[in-house]
Amino acid sequence: MNTRRRSTRIAIVAAALAILLPLSGCVSSFLPKAPSTTSTPTNEKVAADLKPFYSQVLTWKSCESGNFQCATATAPMDWKNPATKSIKLALIRKTASGTRLGSLLVNPGGPGGSGYDFIRDSLSYAVDATLQKNYDIVGFDPRGVNKSSAVKCYSDPASMDAYLFDISPNPFGSDAWIADQEAANQKFGQDCLRYTGDLLGFVDTVSAARDLDLLRAVLGDKKLNYLGYSYGTLLGATYADLYPKKTGRLVLDGAIDPATTSFDVSATQAKGFESALRAYLADCKSGKKCPFTGTVDAAMNTIRSLLDSLNASPIRATDGRELGSSTMTNAIILPLYNKTNWPYLSDLFTSVMQGKADYAFQLADSYYERNANGTYNDNSTEAFIAINCLDYKVTATTDASLQADAAKLKQLAPVLGPQLSYDTSCIKWPFPSTRDRVAITAKGSGPIIVVGTTNDPATPYVWAQSLSKELQNGHLVTYHGEGHTAYNKSNSCVNTAVDSYFVDGTVPSKDPSC
């Protein structure tokens, strides 16, 4: 069994929603094919060794059945040594249907989420009609992700299955169990280095933020207009810190606090998902098909007992995989991202309590972008780990420290805390972390809107509060509700605040408290 830090994966959640619930799709799919065109770079002054990159001309070609335009940009692999090697960045856009204000780059989260797929598959989930009218909506795959120069960690998907789903025979949390996790993660890291090469050491968020500035320039925009969801808020804040004078209109929805440590992330998310689970149970008990009886507290205890039983006696699915507590936790977490998906939790718990594992694996496979035939749609899981290992310094490296952290998480979140513990992914990663986790102020930037949802399980509201205060020019927009991220997914109050800023430059005079 493999346990990893569960971070923000809105791209994967959005993909799962596309499977579980119908999305509105592309509203302009009926338009004729747009002609091939080029983007004129800004021709701004940059260092001589960066000039070839900043002066490149993007050639856009009709793609994806003619509904979009696609292009490929070239960036330095190592921004400190631009002349050594270069990488490719994949771009997709939907041109503005009305009067164009510029390009709006969108990042769906992750890390490891594909902006290309997000815009191609879920344009109207990513942005509303107002922004589609006023901006060229640009999706991009960050370095290491999907269609860009990508992290790769296996040649046979069966080895990815083994890494994600194999279960240690040793007792959960024991020294022997931790040793098994460390060995699996070390092998995985070495496989990533083997198949990825030098790029594996350059997929950090700071490098991706420098790519973002390059994309801004070659798209022809003097300032960056950007919508970042979830992990995309860290990427956007990092950009603002590096290039404050080049910030145009930035909206960060489902914020990550850049100052959080690896343990802080696990602790805050454990509490967040536990709160969302309790909210689901309270809602479930008011319906007719709830698999739980008694109080919410009693139901939480039942779920914890269920996870413990899966540690002791995994359930075998029809495809031969065994359902342990780690995979079950992913199956639980996925529907918690959005209240609309809560009914799937009832089906999940009902089936597993009946001794059936297939439905749990369907949800877990959606989380990991795994197909029924055992192949994977993209490299989001590989990129997720590789980027996080460069972005977060390892704080717990011994069995004793891992077990001490696990005890703390169990106190904070008795049901899910133990499952989000024992993160050994990066202890023996081929490259050390390159980033200090400190507050980002982005001194001198333009206004930056930070959107936070009060019961967001993946990026808890406290992070949005913190980031909006840390940013010198941050402005908080609060959505009082459930779910992960709020823009275009909650109410007109949030949408109006975001759209008014992007279109008219109107900054809320105070938190509208939507």
Q: Which residues pair with 60 in a beta bridge?
A: 37
Q: Tell me if residue 484 is catalytic.
A: yes
The answer for residues whose C-beta is within 8 angstroms of residue 30's C-beta and 6 or more apart is none
Q: Which of 7, 230, 325, 366 is catalytic?
A: 230
DSSP 245-302: GGEEEEEEES---TT--HHHHHHHHHHHHHHHHHHHHHHHTTSSS-S--S-HHHHHHH
Tell the residue number behind the tokens 């490299």, with chain if given. 379
Q: Which of 180, 266, 484, 490 is catalytic?
A: 484
Helix H segments across 86-204?
Answer: 115-126, 129-134, 157-165, 175-196
Q: Are strands 135-140 and 86-94 parallel, antiparallel or unpaired?
A: antiparallel
Q: Which of 204, 253, 423, 456 is catalytic?
A: 456
Give the burial string for 5-16 (b: 16+ CB within 10 Å, else e).
bbbbbbbbbbbb
Contact 455, 481 (CB under 8 A): yes
195: left (phi over 0), alpha (psi -120 to 50) or beta: alpha
Q: Tell me if residue 480 is catalytic.
A: no
Residue 111: asked if its preceding bond is cis (omega within 30°), the reply is yes
Whole-angstrom CA distances from 463 to 404, 421, 452, 477 are: 24, 20, 8, 13
Tell the residue number behind the tokens 């939907």, with chain if given. 94
Contact 240, 448 (CB under 8 A): yes
DSSP 241-258: HH-GGGEEEEEEES---T
The answer for residues whose C-beta is within 8 angstroms of residue 356's C-beta and 6 or more apart is 315
Helix, strand, coil percentages (3-state) for the chain, rounded to 5, are 45, 15, 40
Report the distance separating Cα 187 and Cα 411, nearest Å.
32
Burial of residue 40 (number of CB atoms within 10 Å: 0-12, 13-18, 19+): exposed
Give the burial string for 175-193 (b: 16+ CB within 10 Å, else e).
eebbebbbebbbebbebbb
Any idea which residues carry the catalytic annotation? 230, 456, 484
